[in-house]
């Protein structure tokens, strides 16, 4: 295991060095759209080299092997129309040796690769390495040459690195971008330990269909495949792979998710578009397609969906009694979409803002978000809620929660919810905290087994939840400090903000009525 760790680290350092070779660490996040396709192409080149060598052993020379691969593309997974002048040289050397009009040359060759491989179209040929803004090259040839040279220093063939280590390096690079790029980079990055906990608790089985409606770079889907293989047969492919489905709205991130699927050699389909307004996965009858497992980390508290978006839905995602959760947060809108995307025995895990499990509870009057939460509790769809440590996520210091749904809860767990307050299960990091391996295992085992433990976990029945006005936040029921009154500041502030927003809404409604009655200014 020590060897893998050290290889892992050196690969991460290599990728970060490549990113910094463009314009230093500070500006590296701006160039992720150039770096990731090049690393991906390097992997394709080195694997193609391995396949050419395999054929050459049978036919006597690499020259003949290139000719055979060109004549019959089925001999290789991806056919690369890059043939070095000297057949003994690596395929990547065709790109590495570019010396004039490098941006144009790289773009031309990537488009040629895409033309030969329909699976790569729109993914590898999306970036123009020769692009200009106001007459200036976005990435000039000198810096592009530095980047190519930095990427050339490590071989990424079949025997050099495992696909999973490549995936971890992608994850590392995205995390580094998130550190430097703030929210825009962090939006599609779920801390790996959170994804690992989600996938282990969902216990995906061989051949299952897994769906992520806001898949970002595909990290949560990949985690599910890894979790299934760990349970089944370690890392050997002796079981049916999962079928992975995702949708992503941002074109560059959609391309990254596809690269992640391909580089891991996973069976997947990633669609592009706004899932909330136009989910792409549907049956032949036009209904919403359902899956065995659903995972997601949607952007928290989206406020651009209106009541009309919910009312005009023709896919039965927002049932009577639940529906519109209020303009200020679509969190429970996403939960409803995920619930509608589950088959009869389906289970889901979704990362949400902590306020989603407590907002509106204990306040006078009605609250739309609480109404939706109550609907989920009363229909016995919530299996458990995990409260995470603070400062794990890159676009916020807020802790976040993971909500687990189960459409077929076993009888022994019905009319109850299992709450886990893992706010203290972390180690300090710079710039972010992290959950160590033993913490990940402890949390996952606790959630899988519904193991009650003082200051960590509790089974709470629906009657108690009702008494607490459908507040399902673990921090409300499990106190981690000796002071029984302790509650996280972030959660208290969140609730105060919600109360103020409700008060403003009520005040505005009252003013409108008074104005209609001709009372007051």
Q: Are residues 323 and 223 in the same domain?
A: yes
Within-domain flag for 509? no
Q: Are residues 317 and 410 in the same domain?
A: yes
Alpha helices by DSSP H, listed for 361-488, are 368-378, 437-449, 462-467, 474-477
Q: Are residues 291 and 375 in the same domain?
A: yes
**Which pLDDT tens digits describe the chain residue by residue (521 residues)?**
333 344 455 777 787 788 788 765 456 556 777 888 898 999 999 999 999 999 999 999 999 999 999 999 999 999 999 999 999 999 999 999 999 999 999 999 999 999 999 999 999 999 999 999 898 888 899 999 999 999 999 898 888 877 666 666 666 776 776 666 544 444 557 888 999 999 999 999 999 999 999 998 898 999 999 899 888 875 555 678 999 999 999 888 898 889 888 888 888 899 999 999 999 999 999 999 999 999 999 999 999 999 999 999 999 999 999 999 999 999 999 999 999 999 999 999 999 999 999 998 877 667 899 999 999 999 999 999 999 999 998 778 899 999 999 999 999 999 999 999 999 999 998 888 999 999 999 999 999 999 999 999 999 999 999 999 999 999 999 988 754 445 566 666 766 776 677 677 777 777 888 888 876 54
CA 299 – CA 334 distance, rounded (Å): 10
Q: Which helix (H) or strand (E) holds 258?
A: helix 251-263
Task: State the Cα torsion 77-80-81-87 to the nearest 10°.
Answer: -100
Cis peptide before 273 (omega within 30 of 0): no
**Residue (of 200, 299, 199, 290) closest to 248 by Cα position:** 299
Q: Are residues 319 and 377 in the same domain?
A: yes
Q: How many CB atoms lie within 10 A of CB 436?
A: 12
CA 394 – CA 201 distance, rounded (Å): 23
Q: Are residues 118 and 191 in the same domain?
A: no
Domain count, the chain: 2
Question: Domain of 60: which CATH number?
Answer: 1.20.1260.30
Q: Are residues 212 and 313 in the same domain?
A: yes
CA 426 – CA 401 distance, rounded (Å): 14
Instruction: Assess contact for 49 and 159: CB atoms under 8 A.
Output: no
CA 6 – CA 1 distance, rounded (Å): 9
In eight-state DSSP terms, residue 82 is -
Q: Are residues 109 and 225 in the same domain?
A: no
Give this prediction's pTM. Answer: 0.85
Q: Are residues 213 and 324 in the same domain?
A: yes
Q: Which two tokens stand for residue 317?
A: 């995602």
Domain of 190? 179-489
Q: Are residues 190 and 115 in the same domain?
A: no
Phi, psi of 339 (to 5 degrees): -60, -45
CA 223 – CA 220 distance, rounded (Å): 5
In eight-state DSSP terms, residue 235 is B
């Amino acid at each position: 295991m020590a060897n893998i760790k050290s290889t892992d680290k050196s690969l991460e350092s290599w990728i970060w060095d490549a990113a910094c070779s463009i314009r230093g660490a500070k500006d590296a996040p701006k160039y992720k759209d150039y770096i990731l396709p090049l690393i991906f192409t390097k992997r394709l080149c080195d694997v193609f080299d391995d396949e050419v060598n395999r054929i050459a052993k049978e036919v006597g020379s690499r020259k003949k092997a290139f000719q055979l691969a060109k004549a019959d593309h089925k001999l290789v997974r991806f056919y690369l129309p890059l043939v070095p002048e000297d057949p003994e040289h690596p395929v990547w050397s065709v790109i590495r040796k570019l010396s004039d009009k490098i941006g144009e040359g790289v773009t031309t060759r990537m488009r040629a690769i895409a033309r030969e491989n329909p699976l790569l179209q729109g993914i590898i040929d999306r970036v123009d390495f020769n692009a200009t803004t106001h007459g200036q090259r976005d990435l000039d040839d000198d810096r592009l040459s530095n980047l190519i040279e930095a990427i050339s220093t490590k071989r990424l063939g079949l025997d050099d690195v495992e696909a999973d280590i490549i995936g971890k390096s992608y994850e590392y690079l995205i995390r580094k971008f998130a550190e430097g790029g703030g929210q825009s980079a962090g939006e599609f990055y779920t801390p790996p330990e959170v994804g690992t906990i989600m996938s282990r608790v969902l216990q995906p089985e061989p051949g299952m269909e897994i769906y992520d409606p806001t898949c970002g770079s595909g990290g949560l889907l990949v985690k599910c495949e890894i979790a299934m293989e760990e349970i089944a047969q370690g890392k050997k492919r002796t079981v049916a792979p999962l079928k992975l489905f995702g949708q992503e709205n941002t074109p560059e991130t959609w391309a990254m998710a596809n690269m992640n699927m391909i580089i891991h050699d996973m069976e997947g389909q990633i669609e592009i578009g706004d899932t909330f307004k136009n989910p792409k996965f549907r049956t032949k009858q036009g209904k919403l397609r359902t899956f065995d497992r659903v995972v997601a980390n949607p952007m928290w508290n989206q406020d651009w969906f209106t009541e009309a978006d919910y009312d005009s839905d023709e896919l039965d995602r927002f049932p009577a009694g639940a529906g519109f959760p209020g303009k200020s947060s679509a969190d429970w809108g996403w939960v409803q979409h995920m619930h509608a995307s589950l088959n009869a025995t389906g289970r889901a895990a979704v990362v949400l803002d902590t306020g989603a499990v407590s907002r509106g509870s204990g306040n006078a009057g009605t609250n739309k978000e609480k109404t939706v939460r109550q609907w989920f509790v009363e229909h016995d769809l919530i299996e458990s809620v995990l409260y995470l440590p603070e400062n794990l996520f890159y676009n916020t210091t807020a802790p976040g929660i993971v909500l687990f749904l189960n459409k077929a809860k076993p009888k022994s767990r019905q009319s109850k919810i299992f709450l886990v307050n893992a706010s203290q299960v972390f180690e300090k990091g710079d710039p972010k905290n992290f959950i160590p391996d033993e913490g990940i295992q402890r949390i996952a085992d606790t959630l899988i087994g519904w193991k009650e433990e003082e200051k960590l976990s509790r089974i709470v029945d629906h009657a108690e939840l009702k008494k607490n006005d459908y507040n399902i936040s673990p921090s409300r029921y499990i106190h981690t400090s000796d002071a029984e009154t302790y509650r996280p500041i972030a959660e208290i502030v969140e609730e105060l903000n919600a109360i103020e927003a409700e008060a403003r809404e009520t005040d505005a409604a009252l003013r409108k009525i008074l104005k209609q009655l001709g009372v007051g200014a």
